[in-house]
């Protein structure tokens, strides 16, 4: 069984970052470890800053586990206005079901 899954992050300018995200890691940690500039992750995944805001694309957006109350409470503080499908990458665990998922990054995290 693979220990990573391919995930694509799309910057606001349309450029793509392909990464191999380790299973069990958060999407935020995978992006930070890969040096993705569009994920600031100021709080290190402690759910207190909203600087890892991502916008998952379908078909994966609707298959992610529902956001918990703490994540929903933090999303209004994201620098880019939250959308109905907005998520915080620190709250998304990389699973085999995320293989080939695409996440858009907002134009800014600040």
Eight-class DSSP state of 106: P
CATH number, position 67: 3.10.20.30
Is 109 among the domain residues? no
Q: pTM higher than 0.85, yes or no?
A: yes
Residue by residue, pLDDT tens for the chain (110 residues) are: 679 999 999 999 999 999 999 999 999 999 999 999 999 999 999 999 999 999 999 999 999 999 999 999 999 999 999 999 999 999 999 999 999 999 999 999 99
The reported pLDDT for the residue numbered 18 is 97
Is 39 among the domain residues? yes
User: How many structural domains comprise the chain?
Assistant: 1
Residue 30's CB is within 10 A of a number of other CB atoms, namely 24
The reported pLDDT for the residue numbered 1 is 61
Is 38 among the domain residues? yes
The residue range of the domain holding 25 is 4-104
Classify strands 4-10 and 101-104 as parallel, antiparallel or unpaired: parallel
If 0-12 CB within 10 Å is exposed, 13-18 middle and 19+ buried, where does residue 59 land?
A: exposed
């Amino acid at each position: 069984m693979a220990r990573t899954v391919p995930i694509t992050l799309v910057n606001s300018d349309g450029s793509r970052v392909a990464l191999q995200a380790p299973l069990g890691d958060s999407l935020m940690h995978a992006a930070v470890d890969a040096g993705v500039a569009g994920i600031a992750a100021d709080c290190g995944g402690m759910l207190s800053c909203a600087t890892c805001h991502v916008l998952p694309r379908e078909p994966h957006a609707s298959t992610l586990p529902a956001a918990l109350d703490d994540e929903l409470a933090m999303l209004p503080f994201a620098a880019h206005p939250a959308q109905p499908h907005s998520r915080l990458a620190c709250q998304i665990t990389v699973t085999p079901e995320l293989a080939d998922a695409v996440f858009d990054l907002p134009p800014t995290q600040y």
